[in-house]
Chain A
């Protein structure tokens, strides 16, 4: 039983990992609380869902959903985040919360508040190893998360865009002085973050086989945020491992401690952890300046 829980925990973790990578793109680089992350990509997921209902091939539908998420976040960044980028901490955060509500109600207005069954369409197999059942989808999800992590790390390291993103994460004014088109790059980061979020969201939906308007916030933003902090803000490797830890704590608490108080314990473990290690498991070195 223990190993089955372990496998389940790791598969839940890999779903969270996908969400966390997209979240950590924006959070790690711009240090802005992106409250709207989940709700923006949820729109993309619903577009994918609708396209698939229209018998469009899942891959095309996912690409379309990613495009929608990308464009939507570009628009949101332009009109709700960019004007308040330098206005302290509270103002951009509240603006993002506002966007989250707008997106969620937008979904509710178009698709309604019901929960719909969701499936990517291909058959879900599972492998049985000594009584432990491993779903193939879970393996795919983990593989996709790792591939994305590697791709993004490489892109950050070896492309001009990646380097300018890293410059911006160090200091926006300096980056601007070096001739980096700051606004464009930041918009791109938001767009790519949302597109990655759509992939994560769709795999999340296919793992749990449902889709509804709430996937964005409580299952998206919050989990991704927690995973990103577990791992260390701005660390892509950290966000995968953080997501695994989050998955582990959720599954094992509900299996061995209490399922009714699952969230309570997961939160408590999390709060204790960030009080002990505020910089996460793989911290980035940033010194406070006077």
Chain B
């Protein structure tokens, strides 16, 4: 047992070192760009997972919150000349405030209405991105600059890699702590049975609001990081389709599993880059993937009883069978 644990730890350390050194052996900027994207989208997938997977609130408007964070950060950075970190965190806090508003609107509504209101909310935000030209530059999109800390600009892809990595690790740790705390248990209780949750003393409406605030904060943070990484954004990045792709990352990875969200984001970001035809039909593939997943593995890849667990169980079963067969053969 103990030896096995040591092996696992060694593998973990090797993996961590491998990730840390990625910019040294992957020098191709295109590949680095994809990896950065994966990490930033992972943060969004984590926040979707918090809202949908842990709290059970089906949210179709995540992209709008990424947009709110992105536009707020980019506009304040371009216009007011504030330090980057202020604009960046400001974007996340702005998204969290709007998330709070959405949460307050939705705290008493039923499942269906929440879904509908999130769609409406994201449409409203998108219309503002398109139509509020003096601020957002409308459909032409908005350019901005790379992040800078104390006068040092993160111009290279390598530095952006470390920036995204640190951001992802911080967000992951905080979200993991939240899900394992009293608050996370309250979210899960609301997901499983909101009436029983309220009888356990959980203030269900306020916890729903809290969930939207926390989730929107991280979505906004990732959105702001993305806009400073790509140095450009436009309203087309924040459509309903985008929201559903974000949702699908969390679902594919496994609702309720945090590592799963990263896996899901990685698959859905990398796959379209591998083949052009996949890119053209990515929504079709996503649709098929959604239906197939829901039918055969609603818990995604890494969730409880998801594909990974099914695979492990399958291998174990066949392994023991083969071992037994081997014994028989030996006898």
**Residues of chain A at the chain B interface (Cβ within 8 Å):** 31, 33, 79-80, 83-84, 87, 89-95, 97-102, 104-106, 109, 222, 225-226, 229, 260-261, 263-264, 267-268, 270-271, 274-275, 278, 290
Residue among A33, A98, A225, A229 making CB contact with B290, cutoff 8 Å = A98
Flag if A261 contacts B127 (CB, 8 Å). yes
Complex contact A229–B116 (CB within 8 A): yes
Quick check: A95 and B295 within 8 Å, CB to CB? yes
Q: A97-B244, A261-B131 are in contact. Are A278 and B115 (CB under 8 A)?
A: no
Interface centre among A98, A261, A271, A275 (most CB of B within 10 A): A98
Taking the closest CB of chain B, its distance from the CB of A279, in whole angstroms, is 10
Determine if B58 is an interface residue (Cβ-Cβ < 8 Å): yes
Contacts of A92 in B (CB 8 A): 294
- The reply to whether B290 and A94 form a contact with Cβ atoms under 8 Å apart is yes
Q: Which residues of B contact A261 (CB under 8 A)?
A: 127, 131
Asked, given contacts A93-B115, A225-B116, A278-B110, whether A263 binds B291 with beta carbons under 8 Å apart, the answer is no
Contact across chains for B116 and A80 when beta carbons are under 8 A apart:
no
B271 at the interface (CB under 8 A from A): no
Contact B294–A102 (Cβ < 8 Å): no
Compute how far the CA of A267 lies from the CA of B124 in the bound complex, rounded to whole angstroms: 7
> Is there contact, CB below 8 Å, between A264 and B124?
yes
B291, B293, B295 pick with most chain A CB within 10 angstroms? B291
Please indicate the chain A residues that have their CB under 8 angstroms from the CB of B281 in the complex: 105, 109
Q: Which residues of A contact B56 (CB under 8 A)?
A: 89-90
Given A87-B298, A90-B56, A264-B128: A270 in contact with B120 (beta carbons within 8 A): yes
- The contact of B58 among A90, A99, A229, by CB within 8 Å, is A90
Beta-carbon contact of A94 and B251 below 8 Å: yes
- Asked if B112 CB lies within 8 Å of chain A CBs, one says yes
CA distance A226 to B112 in the complex (A): 11
Query: Could you tell me the distance between the alpha carbons of A259 and B283 in the complex, rounded to whole angstroms?
Result: 31
B286 proximity list for chain A (CB < 8 A): 98, 101
Q: Is B120's CB under 8 angstroms from A271's CB?
A: yes
Residues of B within 8 A of A274 (CB): 109, 113, 116-117
Query: Are B291 and A95 closer than 8 Å at their CB atoms?
Result: yes
B58 touches A93 (CB 8 A): yes
Q: List 6 A-B contacts (CB under 8 A).
A: A98-B294, A105-B287, A109-B281, A229-B116, A275-B105, A290-B195
**Given A90-B58, A275-B105, A102 and B284 contact (CB-CB distance below 8 Å):** yes
CA distance in complex: A87, B109 (Å): 21
Task: Flag if A99 contacts B120 (CB, 8 Å).
Answer: no
CB distance from A89 to the nearest CB of B (A): 5
Provide the bound-state CA to CA distance between A7 and B248, in Å.
42
Pairwise interchain contact A271-B105, C-beta atoms closer than 8 A = yes
| B-chain residues with CB within 8 Å of residue A79 when the two chains form the complex | 295
B142 on the A face (CB < 8 A): no
Task: Return B10 CB to nearest CB of chain A, in Å.
Answer: 38
Q: Let me know if B221 is at the binding interface, CB within 8 A.
A: no
Q: Contacts A101-B290, A105-B281; is A267 near B113 (CB within 8 Å)? A: no
Docked pose: A254 CA to B204 CA in angstroms: 38
Contact A267 B123 (CB under 8 A): yes
Q: A93-B58, A105-B284, A263-B123 are in contact. List 13 more A-B contacts (CB 8 A).
A: A33-B112, A79-B295, A80-B294, A90-B58, A94-B290, A94-B293, A99-B287, A100-B287, A101-B283, A101-B284, A106-B284, A267-B124, A278-B110
CB-based nearest B residue for A92: B294
Interface string of B277-311 (1 = CB under 8 A from A): 00001011011111101110010000000000000
Q: Does B183 contact A (CB under 8 A)?
A: no
Give the complex CA separation of A106 and B111 in angstroms. Answer: 29
Q: Are A84 and B113 in contact (CB under 8 A)?
A: no
- In Å, the complex CA distance between A271 and B115 comes to 12
Task: Specify which chain A residues have a CB less than 8 angstroms from the CB of B108 in the assembled complex.
Answer: 278
Contacting residues, chain A, for B284 (C-beta < 8 A) = 101-102, 105-106, 109
**Which residues of chain B are near A95, meaning CB under 8 Å?**
290-291, 294-295
| Cα separation A278 to B298 with both chains bound (whole Å) | 30
Task: Find chain B residues with CB under 8 A from A99 CB.
Answer: 287, 291
Task: Report, nearest first, the 8 A-B pairs whose CB atoms are least far apart.
Answer: A101-B287, A98-B290, A105-B284, A98-B291, A102-B287, A267-B120, A95-B294, A98-B287
Interface residues of B in 92-114 (CB under 8 A from A): 105, 108-113
Given A95-B295, A98-B290, A101-B284, answer yes or no on A278-B244 (Cβ-Cβ < 8 Å). Answer: no
Interface: B35 (CB within 8 A): no
CA distance A106 to B288 in the complex (A): 11
Does A104 contact B131, Cβ atoms closer than 8 Å? Answer: no
B287 and chain A: residue at smallest CB distance? A101
CA of A90 to CA of B287 in the docked complex: distance in angstroms? 15
Q: How far is the CA of A22 from the CA of B286 in the complex (A)?
A: 26
The answer to whether B124 and A268 have CB atoms under 8 Å apart is: yes
CB–CB A84/B294 < 8 A: yes
CB distance from B35 to the nearest CB of A (A): 27
What's the Cα separation between A270 and B113 when bound, in Å?
11
Q: Quick one: which of A89, A109, A275 contacts B109, CB cutoff 8 A?
A: A275
Determine if A260 and B287 form an interchain contact, defined as CB atoms under 8 angstroms apart. no
- B295 to chain A: closest residue by CB: A83
